[in-house]
Structure 1
Amino acid sequence: MPTQGFQKVLGIELDEVSPERIAAHIDIDHRHANSGGAVHGGILMSLADSLGAMGALQNLGPTQRTATLESKTNFVRACVGARITAECQPLHVGHQTSVWHTVVRDEDGRICAHVWQTQIHFDAPGFKTPTGGSAK
């Protein structure tokens, strides 16, 4: 599964994609920083949201899609360094929803954030992305 759209803008690089685990990293530069010089919290949240959606898609049929219903982030520490990593795993995968937990770490392996999100699953035969391609 290649990254596309906003994921490319963020610089997300996928390291592992399976129905049970999505792992990725972002090489950090000045565009990712907040006013204090750490990685902006929105980057961490966007990374986790992207991985949760990718994980949900790995568990859906070819005409199904997903959207985030709810997302909660607990920031544990400022994330600094040249790379952040994230690992996302399902806590529940059902017919209509799935729940995902993502741990975001700094380059020294310290946890920066925990993100929990609930994805809704729905049928969308013939769905096209804004660029005209398939979303899966």
Structure 2
Amino acid sequence: MIWKREATLEALNAMGEGNMVGLLDIQFERLTESTIEATMPVDGRTHQPFGLLHGGASVVLAETLGSVAGYLCTEGEQSVVGLEINANHIRGVRSGRVRGVCKALHTGGRHQVWQIDIFDEQGRLCCSSRLTTAVV
């Protein structure tokens, strides 16, 4: 297991209350020994003007997953901050919920690198993102 902190899905979802995570209805749904998953609706909150999932919303989902995963890999008073994120938008999505799956590429003492892939309800890859965080 890569996680150094205890966490439940209920506690992770409570972290979203009163911030962008809650506003976009991002829901943590799975926590395994090495991955974390969350879903987000594709609706008026997350659409761009042409009715597709906004690329920025995908990045919010990716950064949320990577940042929470990064925090779970720290101890004590440590936390993480994002240094860089990139996203390749591969397939448009008009409705439903997308699922982000986050896994570690590197969890060092000073920085971390996270791969976040976002899938539509048919399991097709829609966005591939990588987040680098600094441990502070």
Question: Which TM-score band (shorter chain)?
Answer: 0.7 to 0.9
Which residue identity is paired with 1:71?
I
Unpaired runs of at least 5, structure 1: 123-136
Q: How many residues align?
A: 122
How far apart are the structure 1 equivalents of 2:75 and 2:32? 14
2:123 pairs with 1:109: yes
Deviates further, 28-37 or 111-120: 28-37
Structure 2 residue aligned with 1:54:
68
2:129 pairs with 1:121: no
How far apart are the structure 2 equivalents of 1:107 and 1:61? 35
Unpaired runs of at least 5, structure 2: 1-11
TM-score by length of 1: 0.84
2:43–2:94: 8 Å Cα contact kept in structure 1?
no
Paired-residue identity, %: 26
- Runs of 4+ with deviation above 3 angstroms: none
1:2-43 deviations in Å (ceiling 9; x for gaps): 332211011100012356211010123222111111111111
2:41 pairs with 1:24: no
Question: Residue 64 of structure 1: SS of its match in structure 2?
Answer: coil
Distance change (3 Å), C-alpha of 1:24 and 1:13: same
How far apart are the structure 2 equivalents of 1:28 and 1:71? 21
Q: Equivalences for 1:52-131 in 2 at 5 Å?
A: 52-122=66-136
2:43–2:95: 8 Å Cα contact kept in structure 1?
no
2:52–2:93: 8 Å Cα contact kept in structure 1?
yes
Which residue identity is paired with 2:113?
V
Question: Residue 120 of structure 1: SS of its match in structure 2?
Answer: strand
Residue 80 of structure 1, CA deviation: 2.5
CA-atom RMSD, angstroms? Answer: 1.3
